[in-house]
Chain A
Amino acid sequence: MDRGKEMRLLEALRGGSEKAFESVYRKHRAVFLNFGRKYGLNDHDLLDIYQEAYIVFYQNVASGKLQELKSSIGTYILAIGKNKIREHLRKTGRLVYADTILDNQTEEESVFDGEEETPTERQRILAHQFALLGKKCQEVLKWFYYQGYDIATIRKKGNYSSDNVVKSQKSRCLKTLKERMR
């Protein structure tokens, strides 16, 4: 696929397109499963790993962390997935396979090294309290703290009348959250 098309797909994903979310997921699924089977993993485990890798990829796009691709989307997802396969093999004691994957790791893949961080207690409680906030509050905080949108973008997306209204809304929501955390 040409680079322009892939960049448009990234933009669609960042914009929240359900169609792009599903089509990218389906497009790379079979290649990943075929790749993973070489390491003796069953399809059920591989599908879980693929989904985890896809979620990491998608979250990197949604949060703005991934804005430009040095390689294709498929390579990016595969790179994340390879590290997840390695983690899985290590956890299940199949170190030989794990080392094989590790030895063949490219420079690009090393970007995705390491296991996902375990959430702290405060992050877990915050996650729960966040889910109990009203829809508007969830929306504005998600746009700012998760998707990295600036205030002007949030004003447009949320149809707010001014930047100051966005700032007040954000600060009210933060205050509510902090009070609930006490």
Chain B
Amino acid sequence: MEQSELDSLQKAYLQDTLTEAQAQRLAQLRAQGPVLDEKLAFEYDLGKAIALNERKRLKVKLEALEERPKSWRESKSFLAMAASLALLLLTSLLWYLSSNVGAGRDTFEQYYEAYPNTVVSISRSADTNDDIEQIAFAAYDAGDYSRAISALKKLASRSDVPKYHFFLGQAYLAEKEYSAAYGQFKSVMVQGGDFTLESKWYIALLFTRESPEAAIPYLTEIARNKGYKAHEAEELLDFCLKELVRNKGYSVEEAEELRNLLE
């Protein structure tokens, strides 16, 4: 038997696309000895196992797209899987107990800081001139967020560029208008230009207030980028996973599993 023949049969076997002739040939080969038979069976199960993990990872991604966080506990397959994880319980419990990042604190307030104006230099005559951009960012720099919102809204409606949406989101955040802030950050994300990663950070922060499941994919991405807010994202990720255990009915091992899948 050629290795290439076996590779080709195995690939079709893993994809469940064996033709009748291929299935017969594979059965013949497997009947020749237990070593090959067990190898193929193990690797087939591995392919299915990876697909199972991928399904869960994709489900989390889609829930984040829908902004409709939902516990995996509704998934029968996940529950069945969780039942088999007793071995992990001890180490996970140690992980859970050994860290107290964010516990008992208002995490959003702890991590929230307004993003500084990095895009417009303010001239001395900003208060008097007609340049609406100057007015918007002068107000923003002065902490006059209500005036900044009014000017930034005009700017964003005239010119649909990420920086206006991003700083409008910032101004809404400062005014504690969370839903409006979220909408602006989402606009930046959809456009996909400047301030995309920063917007993801603020969206993640907003989600940590009530929906840690939805924050997790954003935080994982930020942490993985090893750049802007990566360290804070790691910390918040820990916090969110613990929140799932504390308040969302996840077991410790389910939360750990989620972290491993997304990393």
Chain A: residues with CB nearer than 8 A to chain B?
Answer: 19, 21-22, 25-26, 47, 51, 54-55, 58-59, 62-65, 117-128, 130-132, 135, 141-142, 145-146, 148, 150, 174, 177-178
A62 nearest CB neighbor, chain B only: B54
Q: Are A146 and B54 in contact (CB under 8 A)?
A: yes
Are B65 and A130 closer than 8 Å at their CB atoms? Answer: no
Of B40-48, B139-147, B244-252, the segment with at least 4 beta carbons within 8 Å of chain A is B40-48
List 5 contacting pairs A-B, 8 Å CB cutoff, sorted by A.
Answer: A21-B61, A26-B65, A122-B45, A135-B263, A150-B7
Whether A141 contacts B17 in the complex (CB less than 8 A), given A47-B66, A128-B88, A146-B51, comes out as no
CA distance A148 to B81 in the complex (A): 25
Q: Which 9 A-B pairs have the closest CB atoms?
A: A126-B49, A127-B49, A131-B260, A146-B50, A145-B47, A124-B81, A127-B52, A51-B62, A123-B48
How far is B38's CA from A147's CA once the two chains are assembled, in angstroms?
21
**A128/B77 in contact, CB under 8 A:** no
Q: How far, in angstroms, from A128 to B86 measured CA to CA in the complex?
A: 11
- Given A119-B49, A127-B49, 10 additional A-B pairs, CB 8 A: A25-B62, A47-B66, A51-B62, A54-B62, A118-B77, A119-B77, A128-B81, A131-B260, A145-B43, A146-B54
Decide if the interface of chain A is mainly helix, strand, loop or mixed.
helix
Binary A-proximity of B43-74 (CB < 8 A = 1, otherwise 0): 10111111111110011011101101000000
- Is B193 positioned at the interface, with any CB of A under 8 Å from its CB? no
Is B14 an interface residue, CB under 8 A from the partner?
Answer: yes
Complex Cα gap A54–B50 (Å)? 17
Q: Does B261 contact A (CB under 8 A)?
A: yes
Residue B225 lies at the interface, judged by CB distance under 8 Å to chain A = no
CB distance from A149 to the nearest CB of B (A): 10
Is B1 an interface residue, CB under 8 A from the partner? no
Q: Smallest CB–CB gap between A175 and chain B, Å?
A: 11
Does B81 contact A119, Cβ atoms closer than 8 Å? yes
Q: Does B84 contact A (CB under 8 A)?
A: yes
Bound-complex Cα distance A121 to B83 (A): 10
List of A residues within 8 angstroms of B51 by Cβ = 59, 63, 146
Q: How far does the alpha carbon of A51 sit from the alpha carbon of B72 in the complex, in Å?
A: 13
A142 to B54, CA, bound (A): 10
Q: What residues of chain A lie closer than 8 Å to B15, measured between beta carbons?
A: 63-65, 148
Known A145-B50, A146-B54: A127·B81 in contact at CB below 8 Å: yes
Q: For the complex, give the distance between the alpha carbons of A131 and B58 in Å.
A: 15
Q: Nearest CB to that of B16 among chain A residues? A: A65
Q: How far is the CB of B105 from chain A (nearest CB, A)?
A: 30
Known: A51-B59, A65-B17, A148-B14. A128 touches B54 (CB 8 A): no
Taking the nearest CB of chain A, how far is it from the CB of B91, in angstroms? 10
Residues B68 and A124 in contact, CB atoms below 8 Å apart: no
Chain A residue nearest in CB terms to B221: A18
Known contacts A65-B16, A123-B52; is-contact A141 B46 (Cβ 8 Å): yes
Within 8 Å CB of B11, what residues of A? 148
CB distance from B66 to the nearest CB of A (A): 7
A47, A126, A178: residue with the most chain B Cβ atoms closer than 10 Å: A126
Q: Give chain B interface residues in 207-263, CB to chain A under 8 Å.
A: 257, 260-261, 263
Distance (whole angstroms) from the CB of A59 to the closest CB of chain B: 6
On whether the beta carbons of B54 and A59 are closer than 8 Å, the reply is: yes
Q: Is the CB of B45 within 8 A of A120?
A: yes
CA distance A25 to B112 in the complex (A): 32
- How far, in angstroms, from A3 to B51 measured CA to CA in the complex? 28
A131-B53 contact, Cβ under 8 Å, with A22-B65, A124-B80: yes
